[in-house]
Structures are given as C-alpha cells and as structure tokens.
C-alpha cells in the first residue's frame, strides 16, 4: 500500500490537533487557510481603497488636523474634470504611453526575433541587452540627465555627429518640444529589454513542427512570419503591452529625476501631478478624488484589454 | 563688545557646567535628534554640537535630508505627528504651518525664563524665521542660520585687461560689479559663449529648478526690485494689482530675457547644487546662490583664494531687495524630550557659541556676532553678507505656503523656461491661483 504526502502528514499530526480538526469540513479548513490572506488583502488593499473613496467626497487636508472636515459631495471630482491643467497632464501621459509602448513593442519584438535565431554569442548579447532593466529608475534618470547635457552629454554629441548641428544648440530636457521625447527615449532604453524577454518567451513557445509543416507547403518566410509567428506570439505581445501600459501610467521616478515634470508642465504626468496635490499641497480630499479617477480609468481600460487578450488566446 | 562676550562666555561656562552636572546626576542624558537639510552648514553644526554633547552629557543625532526632498520628508514627519525629530531647523516658510498646526512649541515663556531676547538677533531673521503671525511677538523658533540670495563672480576674469578693454568698447563702462540688474544682464550677455583659456563659458547660473522651490527663489530677486508686492500693504490678502503690477510684469520679462541670453545651455532645471557645480567648474562668470555657499567658494582650489568676488542682489527700478533664505530652530511639539531640546536652544543662543558657529562656516543671526567691528573683514564675503541681510524679503510663510509655492513654480517655469504665454498672463494666472488658495483657506 502506498501513502500519499497528505496521508504521511496526517499520520504525523499530533493526536490533540487531529481530534480538534477531525470534525471540520473541507470548506472550513479551506477558509482557515485563506483567511490570513483575505485579512491582509482587506487591510492593505480594500480598506484603503474604501477610505480613499470616502475622503474624495470631503475637503480633508492631512496637514490641517485641527480643521473641521466637511462633506463636499462631487465638488472635488467636478474641479478635477474641468481643470485644463489636469487635462494637459492627461495629454502628456497619453503621449508618453503611446510612444513608449509603440517603440518598445516594435524594438523589443525585433530584438527578440533576432535573438531567437541561433548564432554565436547569443547568450552574451541577451545579457547585454537586458542590462538596462536591471538598473534602478532613479539611476537611469540621473544617468540620462548627464547624457542629455548640452555641453558634456554624449547624446547631443551623437546627434551633432550625424546632423552637423552644434551640440550646445539644443537641450533635450530644457526644450518644450524635445523634453516629451527625452523621457520617451530614456524609458524605451530602459524597458525595451523587458518587452523583448516576453516576446522571446512567446517566440520560443511556437513549436518547430508548425514551421516545418509550412516549409513543406512551400510557404515563404514572409508568409510564415505573418501567418504563424505574429498570430502565435500575439498573446505575449498583448501581455507586454498590458504590463508596460500599467507601469507607464503610474510612471514617476524616472521622469521626476530626468525633468522634474518640466520644462513648465510639459512632462508633468498624472502621477507626478497627483503626488504634488497629495504630498506637496496636502489637498487630501481633492487628491483622493484624483486617485479614484485614475484608478477607475486604469481599471476600466485594463479590464477591456484583458477581455480582448482572452479572446485572442481562445482563437 | 569684547567685554560683553567675555562675560557671556563665563556665564555660558557656568551654565554649561550646571547643565552637565544636572544631566549626569539625574541620569537624564538624552539622545536628541536634530533634523535639517543635508548641506555644508549641517556638517559645521555637527562639529559645533560636539561642544554641547560634552557640556550637557546629551547625545546629538542628526537627520539630514537633501534640499530637493527636505520639505516632503520633514513636513510628512510633522504632519504625521512623528517623533523622529526633537529639534527641527525648518525652512522659514514653515513657521506659519508649524505654529498654527501645533507642530512647534511656542518659545516665549522659555525665552523669558532664560533671558533670551529677540532684540539680540537681526530683525529680518526674527521676522523671517521666528515669528508667527509676522510682526507679532509670538516666537516658535530661534534664528539659527541667516541666509540670503547673493551673487558670486569670477573676479579673475573680470580683471583681465583684454576683457576690460572689450567690455569698455562695447558698453562704455568698466567691467565691474554691476550696479543694477540691467548691468548684470549686460555682463552675462558679454560672457555668454565666450572662449576663456580654450573653454566656452557662459554668463550666469540662475535658479530655474521646477520640482521644489528653485525658480521661485530666483525670480523673486528680480520681481521685488521691479515693484512686485505680495499683497496690498494696507489690506492683507488683497493681491490683484500688486502681484501682477506693471513693474512685476517687467521684472518677470527681465528674468526670462536673462535666462534666454545669459545662461548656460541646458540650465533649465538648476538650483543650488547645479549652480555651484557650474561655477566651480569654470562654466559661468557669475552665479546666483544663497550665501551659505560662500565659505565653500573661498576654499575651492579653482575659484577660491581671491579668484571670486561677491555682491548683493543688484537694484532694479523699484529698489534693491534680495530673497531671504535661512531657517530657525524649533522644538518639535511631538518630541518626548522637549526639556533636553530646549537645553540645546539655550546653549545655541549663547554669543560665544554663535561666534564659533560663524567661525565654523555657519551663519549667525546674532547681532553681537555680525555687528562686531571685526565681522565685516573676517571673511571676504562678510560685508556682502551684511549688506544682503539688510535688504531681504521673504516668500509667504502662511500655513498654506506650499499651495502658494506650487502654482508659482508652475507659472514661472512655464513662462521663463518653456516660453509659454506672456509675463502678464503668467502673473495674472498666479493671482487667480493664489486667490483660490486664500478662498479655500477662508482668508478672503
């Protein structure tokens, strides 16, 4: 007779404990196991969320503990949604999101496609490419600040080398037209390897037999790419877009380090704006409403996206 | 004056002996934590405080945070009723919030009981660092570090004969310390992009930082001198027509012009540290900065030792003012070691301690120190420091100062650096923002 690990664990259970749990149903035992996790989730996630929603209807300010807290209804929401500055930060965030995701997916997939080919030094190149995402965003921000320095920065000199312009004649982080691209370039440099790794996982999950069958059918490489590689890697690509989308929607550290949200408000993303409202202006009620709006936006978009992702996976 | 100092020193020694005996005998040697910004003067304070440790038997710990995150970190600490800091050298603008929100201990009774009088300190520092409401005898801090925005310039470059000649030919006057802001801009423009010893140099490093308070601390030095007022002197919180007066608009335009024609490329987010680096590395002929950097400039092997000169913020069409910096030292109301913290303040207020504070590179606000006949010649920058402290003005110190600072940062950076809109629009927008804050605060 063979004993499973569960049987062996049951045999080792002290008699006193065994007697106490003998009468418990499977459902009760399941609850005992999940209860600590549920309690933690409630304490760390759900309660703060409910509390934030409650505060969003008040004029509470955490730096004025002695002031009376008044119920202001939807006034905070109204002020946020009608504030042109908030919409400007939304626009800056949309620009940042769209371009970083587009570039990272295009470059990341291309790199993954190349790395997926067997060649000498493959592992070494993979390690080199992955290096930027191992760094702290604050370090990357600081590092790119130097690269973008008009007088000593390597970036300006590279541009000058190819275009012939004076390197000191333009400032990537000081010019309103260039600064939004400065943060896109730095983020793309840092996070493209992450997209590449996900795409690589997708490409390596495609069985060779499918390509072999296509070869038998005399399908060209181009046709194989569009009818096998892309459709089968698509769920992974979509997953990469989801991860990067959520991450970049809350982007803070890299951009603060690089531009501080400037020049002017050009690179003030919503997360930076929210932080200023919450922890510099200390408008707790207002910033709670702001946070709720952002949460609903991300949650809504992510839900729609996940449904689309599931449909692609089912195909 | 010397006799007074000697007598006070003797009294201080007796007091110190008493303090040590009391602390030791009662077994009340306490671990005190002093919170301040991480900058050069903080190192001097560590050195200075060793005397206090020796005399009192208490141990001093220090929590220093870089300027760019100092307000975030410390205001969080105060707002949450944290007990990390027993003593806080908080920014001058925090005094209103510190007093009204109960973060700081009111020190009037303590001062009275220990013979500390605010008449002994420079009036501007008392108003700026200690009083709330302003111009009332309610004290929540002891002036700890007197500071003001001034200018440093490359004396060695200014004195070069070939540059003197060229400047004279171009502007019809000697290349010297500027008498007013217009002259300062000429000099900045003169040096902009110039080749000096094979290196391209630029005019001036000015404050342009976006994230904390940088550009506000810079632009106010020009605004004040062009006629900007925070409010109607006869009616508090009446700001329309004062903040955005014709003079203020002209002043803001001047700051933008100075940024456009006389500053290094890429200096769009510079504050104290970046300006120091640019100056020390020989990138700029002049720098705007708080006076705290001057001891470091003098000691620098490239730009110190007589190669640099100092001058107060130059006058404008409406007068000569300079942005006040500096801080007062307060006892945190949430501290459980308030007695020991007060002992520190009592010790710190002594004239000989204040004199040593200045000698170590700190900046005393005690009149006995700064009005000493030898003070003005004690350091190459001492006279400029005195002249600058006599013309200070400060930003709002309301409890809502952060709400007032952030829109100013935003509006000024948008116009000066990003070139968005006009000076008039920027200041009109600022008026709207500030009125909204004051309405929220119930002040108007």
CB A291 within 8 A of CB A52: yes
Task: Place B28 in a pLDDT band, splitting at 50, 70 and 90.
Answer: low
CA distance B423 to B135: 32
pLDDT score of B388 more than 60:
yes
Instruction: Kindly report which listed range (A41-50, A277-286, B19-28, B86-95) carries the lowest average pLDDT score.
Output: B19-28
Please name the member of B100, B200, B417 whose beta carbon is closest to the beta carbon of A263.
Answer: B417
Q: What pLDDT, in 10s, does the model give residues A173-212?
A: 888 899 999 999 999 999 999 999 999 999 999 999 999 9
Which residues of chain A lie closer than 8 angstroms to B412, CB-CB? Answer: none
Instruction: Kindly report which listed range (A217-231, B14-28, B58-72, B201-215) carries the lowest average pLDDT score.
Output: B14-28
pLDDT score of B305 more than 60:
yes
Partner-chain contact A264 B268, CB within 8 Å: no
User: What pLDDT score was predicted for residue B50?
Assistant: 96
Q: Could you tell me the mean pLDDT of each successive run of 10 residues in chain A, 315 residues long?
A: 71 76 81 93 93 95 81 94 92 96 96 88 88 92 91 90 87 90 96 95 93 92 92 92 92 91 89 91 92 93 89 78
The mean pLDDT value for B253-273 works out to 94
- Tokens in use for A179? 């600064």
**How far away is chain B from the Cα of A260, in angstroms, using its nearest Cα?**
5
User: What pLDDT score was predicted for residue B4?
Assistant: 47
CA distance A157 to B139: 55
Partner-chain contact B268 A266, CB within 8 Å: no
Say what the ipTM of the complex is: 0.70
pLDDT score of B132 more than 50:
yes
Q: Please, which residues 47-76 of chain A have a Cβ atom closer than 8 Å to chain B?
A: 62-66
Secondary structure class of B43 (helix, strand, coil)? helix
Partner-chain contact A173 B101, CB within 8 Å: no
By C-alpha distance, the chain B residue nearest A259 is B269
Tokens 């933008």 found at: B256
Partner-chain contact B417 A276, CB within 8 Å: no
Please name the member of B264, B406, B414 whose beta carbon is closest to the beta carbon of A151.
Answer: B264
The CA-atom distances, in angstroms, between A55 and each of A69, A71, A282, A290, B72 are: 9, 9, 13, 11, 21
Partner-chain contact A174 B266, CB within 8 Å: yes
The domain limits of chain B are: 2-147+325-393, 149-323
Q: Give chain A's mean pLDDT.
A: 90
Partner-chain contact B200 A279, CB within 8 Å: no
**Bridging pattern class, strands B149-154 and B284-290:** antiparallel
CA distance B158 to B166: 11
Partner-chain contact B418 A173, CB within 8 Å: no
Partner-chain contact B268 A263, CB within 8 Å: yes
Partner-chain contact B402 A281, CB within 8 Å: yes
Partner-chain contact A280 B266, CB within 8 Å: no
By C-alpha distance, the chain A residue nearest B259 is A174
How many other CB atoms are there within 10 angstroms of residue A209's CB atom?
8
User: What pLDDT score was predicted for residue B29?
Assistant: 78
Secondary structure class of B31 (helix, strand, coil)? strand
CATH fold group of domain B149-323: D-Maltodextrin-Binding Protein; domain 2 (3.40.190)
Which residues of chain B lie closer than 8 angstroms to A264, CB-CB? Answer: 210, 410, 413-415, 417-418, 420
User: What pLDDT score was predicted for residue A2?
Assistant: 59
Q: What pLDDT, in 10s, does the model give residues B49-84?
A: 999 999 999 999 999 998 878 888 998 899 889 999
**How far away is chain A from the Cα of B261, in angstroms, using its nearest Cα?**
13
Please name the member of A148, A259, A276 whose beta carbon is closest to the beta carbon of B406.
Answer: A276
Q: Which positions in chain B have a beta carbon within 8 angstroms of at least one beta carbon in chain A?
A: 71-72, 75-76, 79, 97, 100-102, 200, 209-211, 264-269, 283, 399, 402-403, 406, 410, 413-415, 417-420
CA distance B132 to B95: 7
**Bridging pattern class, strands B199-205 and B308-312:** unpaired
Q: What pLDDT, in 10s, does the model give residues B341-372?
A: 999 999 999 999 999 999 998 999 999 999 99
Partner-chain contact A263 B210, CB within 8 Å: yes
pLDDT score of B5 more than 90:
no
User: What pLDDT score was predicted for residue B400?
Assistant: 86
> Which of B203, B265, B430 is the best mutation test for A, with the most CBs of A within 10 A?
B265
Following DSSP, what letter does each residue of B359-424 receive, concatenated?
A: HTT----BHHHHTSTTGGGTSTTHHHHHHHHTTEE----STTHHHHHHHHHHHHHHHHTT--S-HH
Taking CB atoms within 8 Å and a gap of at least 24, the contacts of A248-251 are A248/A96, A248/A97, A248/A100, A248/A101, A248/A187, A249/A93, A249/A97, A249/A294, A249/A298, A250/A298, A251/A96, A251/A187
> Nearest CA to A95 among A251, A292, A257, A227?
A251
CA distance A206 to A228: 8
Task: Place B211 in a pLDDT band, splitting at 50, 70 and 90.
Answer: confident
Domains of chain A (ranges plus CATH)?
A: 5-55 (no CATH), 80-314 (1.10.3720.10)
User: What pLDDT score was predicted for residue B1?
Assistant: 42
- Please state the CATH superfamily assignment of the domain spanning residues B2-147+325-393 in this structure: Periplasmic binding protein-like II (3.40.190.10)
By C-alpha distance, the chain B residue nearest A149 is B266
Please name the member of B97, B399, B417 whose beta carbon is closest to the beta carbon of A262.
Answer: B417
Q: Is A15 on the interface with B (CB under 8 A)?
A: no
Q: Please, which residues 183-242 of chain A have a Cβ atom closer than 8 Å to chain B?
A: none
Which residues of chain A lie closer than 8 angstroms to B209, CB-CB? Answer: 260
Which residues of chain A lie closer than 8 angstroms to B283, CB-CB? Answer: 151
């Amino acid at each position: 007779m063979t004993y499973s690990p569960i049987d062996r664990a049951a045999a080792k259970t002290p008699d006193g404990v065994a007697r106490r749990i003998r009468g418990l149903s499977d459902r009760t035992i399941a609850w005992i196991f999940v209860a600590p996790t549920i309690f933690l989730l409630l304490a760390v996630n759900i309660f703060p969320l409910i509390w934030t929603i409650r505060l969003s209807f008040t004029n509470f300010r955490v730096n004025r503990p002695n002031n009376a807290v008044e119920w202001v209804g939807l006034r905070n929401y109204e002020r946020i949604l009608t504030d042109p500055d908030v919409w400007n930060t939304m626009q800056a965030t949309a620009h940042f999101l769209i371009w970083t995701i587009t570039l990272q997916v295009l470059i990341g997939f291309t790199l993954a496609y190349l790395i997926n080919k067997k060649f000498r030094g493959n592992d070494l190149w993979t390690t080199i490419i992955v290096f930027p995402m191992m760094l702290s965003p604050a370090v990357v921000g600081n590092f790119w600040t130097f690269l973008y320095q008009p007088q000593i920065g390597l970036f300006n000199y590279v541009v000058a080398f190819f275009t012939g312009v004076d390197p000191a004649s333009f400032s990537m982080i000081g010019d309103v037209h260039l600064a939004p691209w400065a943060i896109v370039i730095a983020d793309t440099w840092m996070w493209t390897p992450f997209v590449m790794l996900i795409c690589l996982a997708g490409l390596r999950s495609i069985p060779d037999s499918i390509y072999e069958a296509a070869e038998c059918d005399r399908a060209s490489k181009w046709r194989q790419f569009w009818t096998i590689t892309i459709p089968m890697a698509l769920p992974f690509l979509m997953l990469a877009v989801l991860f990067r989308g959520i991450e970049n929607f809350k982007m803070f550290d890299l951009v603060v380090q690089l531009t501080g949200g400037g020049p002017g408000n050009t690179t003030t993303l919503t997360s930076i704006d929210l932080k200023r409202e919450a922890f510099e202006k200390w408008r707790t009620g207002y910033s709670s409403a702001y946070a709720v709006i952002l949460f609903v936006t991300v949650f809504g978009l992510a839900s729609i996206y996940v449904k689309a992702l599931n449909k692609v996976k089912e195909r | 004056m010397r006799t007074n100092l000697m007598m006070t020193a003797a009294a201080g020694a007796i007091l110190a002996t008493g303090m040590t005996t009391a602390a030791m005998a009662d077994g009340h040697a306490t671990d005190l934590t002093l919170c301040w910004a991480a900058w050069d003067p903080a190192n001097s304070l560590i050195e200075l405080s060793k005397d206090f440790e020796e005399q009192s038997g208490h141990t001093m710990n220090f929590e220093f945070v870089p300027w760019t995150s100092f307000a975030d970190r410390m205001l969080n600490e105060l707002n949450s009723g944290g007990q990390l800091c027993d003593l806080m050298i908080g920014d001058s603008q925090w005094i209103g919030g510190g007093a009204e929100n109960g973060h700081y201990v009111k020190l009037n009774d303590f001062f009275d009981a220990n013979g500390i009088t605010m008449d002994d300190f420079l009036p501007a520092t008392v108003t700026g660092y200690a009083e709330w409401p302003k111009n009332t005898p309610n004290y929540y801090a002891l002036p700890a570090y007197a500071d003001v925005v001034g200018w440093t310039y490359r004396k060695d470059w200014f004195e070069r004969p070939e540059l003197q000649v060229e400047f004279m030919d171009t502007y019809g006057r000697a290349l010297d310390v500027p008498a007013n802001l217009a002259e300062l801009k000429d000099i900045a423009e003169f040096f902009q992009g110039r080749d000096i010893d094979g290196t391209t140099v630029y005019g001036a490093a000015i404050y342009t930082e976006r994230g904390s308070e940088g550009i506000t601390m810079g632009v106010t030095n020009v605004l004040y001198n062009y006629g900007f007022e925070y409010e109607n002197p006869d009616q508090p919180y009446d700001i329309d027509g004062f903040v955005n007066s014709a003079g203020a608009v002209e002043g803001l335009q001047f700051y933008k012009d100075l940024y456009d024609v006389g500053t290094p490329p890429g200096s769009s987010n510079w504050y104290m540290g970046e300006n120091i680096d640019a100056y020390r590395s020989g990138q700029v002929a002049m720098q705007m900065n708080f006076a705290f950097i001057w001891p470091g400039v003098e000691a620098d092997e490239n730009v110190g030792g007589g190669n640099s000169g100092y001058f107060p913020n130059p006058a404008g069409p409406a007068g000569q003012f300079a942005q006040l910096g500096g801080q007062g030292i307060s006892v945190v109301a949430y501290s459980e070691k308030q007695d020991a913290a007060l002992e520190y303040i009592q010790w710190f207020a002594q004239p000989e301690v204040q004199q040593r504070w200045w000698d170590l590179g700190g900046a005393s606000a005690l009149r006995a120190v700064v009005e000493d006949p030898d003070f003005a010649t004690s350091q190459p920058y001492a006279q400029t420091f005195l002249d600058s402290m006599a013309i200070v003005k400060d930003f709002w110190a309301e409890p809502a100062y952060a709400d007032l600072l952030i829109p100013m940062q935003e509006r000024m950076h948008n116009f000066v650096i990003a070139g968005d809109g006009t000076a008039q629009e920027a200041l009109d927008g600022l008026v709207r923002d500030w009125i909204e804050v004051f309405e929220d605060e119930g002040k108007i």
